[in-house]
Amino acid sequence: MDLWLSPHDARVRSLRSEGELLYGVARSLFGDCIALISGDHLLALRFVESREEGVASLQSEWPKTHLRYSPEVEKVIAQGFENPASVPVLAIGTPFQITIWEYLRRSPDAITLTYGELARAIGRPKAARAVGRAVGSNGIAVLIPCHRVISRGRLTGYRWGLDRKKDLLAWELARRDPLEMPF
């Protein structure tokens, strides 16, 4: 089961205060990834240039937390690409961000939508720019599929590069059952 928490939640404060989180690095079809987990929940999944860069980035976000390497996390990364819905996430954000991320997490594979469509879908039709900021602040790649959000008729902005966004969308489309296509 996914957890959607505010940064001020007691569970988040507990994680941030000198606890221990596990990380792992694995190669994917789209480049190297680093993931961070707590118990059964994935806290972060990011594309990185190097292990060192990834660990430094995570450590800067979790400065009082001990990050310990675990090869088990690599299995979670692989599982996330094979069956994203099977990996429980623990997303930490504002209520608005969480609303966006939950909606994206439930969206079908290989379906794209615009920032405006996403704003309307969550009942905030005039919030397309705020939706864009929430999408851009997502730190759980693939499992919260922010790569599916596009501008009208074109690919724009992706935290980990437009080429990767395009590749992720093509990969999802290629994996989709043709009998379930929306045409």
**Which residues are the active-site residues?**
146
Rounded to the nearest angstrom, the gap between the alpha carbon of residue 94 and the centroid of all alpha carbons in its chain is: 15
DSSP-assigned letters across all residues of 9-68: SHHHHHHHTT-EEEEEEEEETTEEEEEEEETTEEEEEEE-S-HHHHHHHHHHHSTTSEEE
Cβ atoms of residues 32 and 50 within 8 Å: yes
Cβ atoms of residues 35 and 81 within 8 Å: no
